[in-house]
């Protein structure tokens, strides 16, 4: 019967959340979250761990993930891992159809000036670390691997904002 949703009218939210808790792999969780919008919303509430690789704009990505996944307690940021985001950067509407793909971002210099005089970084910065502290309020464990642009300013921000932080793992190979 097309258009008739029997399973969702029977299953309570608690049972669906329990299903997500028993899924071990990220790919399984992602696949199940595609069942419908309700399952997608419940999956984002059940996620407690996030792994972030090197991306075109990690500071912005952290803010996006913090809005989407509100119950995260473990964050792992590893800038050795390349992650290509499925979204396109740039403008899609209007006269300017130019976009910068995530692939191209890996070959841009570490810092470049924009037209507004603003400096754009392609690595996690202190501002991104502050966004971690502000966005993931339930954070208990933070791992930063090869995040060479993070300074004591960002770490101080984490210490001030993440009162439930129990573990901080810093790994830098120079």
Domains and CATH numbers, the chain: 11-46 (1.20.1280.50), 47-171 (no CATH)
> How sure is the predictor about 56, in pLDDT bands with cuts at 50, 70 and 90?
confident
Can you give the pLDDT at residue 84? 53
What average pLDDT does the chain have? 78
Query: Per residue in 59-111, pLDDT tens?
Result: 888 899 999 999 999 999 988 776 555 544 454 455 444 444 343 333 334 44
Residue 160, CA distances (Å) to 2, 126, 130, 163, 165 in order: 53, 13, 10, 7, 10
Can you give the pLDDT at residue 152? 92
Instruction: Flag whether pLDDT at 41 surpasses 80.
Output: yes
Cα separation, 71 vs 43, whole angstroms = 11
Can you give the pLDDT at residue 102? 40
Can you give the pLDDT at residue 9? 82
Q: Which two tokens stand for residue 13?
A: 């939210």
Residue with tokens 């208990």: 140
Tell me the Cα Rg of the chain.
Answer: 19
> How sure is the predictor about 46, in pLDDT bands with cuts at 50, 70 and 90?
confident
Cα separation, 124 vs 147, whole angstroms = 6
Can you give the pLDDT at residue 163? 93
Name the more confident of 58 and 108: 58
Neighbours of 170 (CB within 10 A): 11
In this prediction the pTM is: 0.69
Query: Per residue in 137-149, pLDDT tens?
Result: 999 999 999 888 8
What is the strand order of the sheet 141-145 is part of?
A: 49-54, 74-82, 141-145, 167-171
Nearest to 132 by CA among 65, 34, 80, 86: 65
Residue % of the chain over a pLDDT of 90: 31
């Amino acid at each position: 019967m097309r258009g008739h949703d029997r399973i969702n009218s029977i299953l309570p939210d608690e049972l669906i959340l329990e299903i997500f808790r028993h899924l071990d792999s990220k790919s399984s969780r992602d696949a199940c979250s595609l069942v419908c919008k309700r399952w997608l919303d419940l999956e984002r509430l059940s996620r407690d761990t996030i792994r972030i690789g090197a991306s075109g704009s990690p500071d912005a990505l952290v803010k996006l993930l913090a809005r989407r996944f509100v119950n995260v307690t473990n964050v792992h940021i590893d800038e050795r891992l390349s992650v290509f985001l499925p979204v396109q950067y740039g403008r899609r509407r209007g006269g300017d159809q130019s976009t910068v793909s995530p692939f191209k971002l890996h070959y841009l210099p570490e810092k470049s000036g924009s037209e507004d005089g603003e400096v754009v970084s392609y690595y996690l910065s202190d501002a991104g670390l502050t966004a971690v502290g502000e966005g993931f309020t339930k954070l208990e464990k933070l791992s930063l691997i090869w995040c060479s642009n993070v300074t004591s300013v960002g770490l101080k921000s984490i210490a001030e904002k993440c009162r439930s932080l129990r573990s901080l793992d810093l790994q830098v190979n120079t």
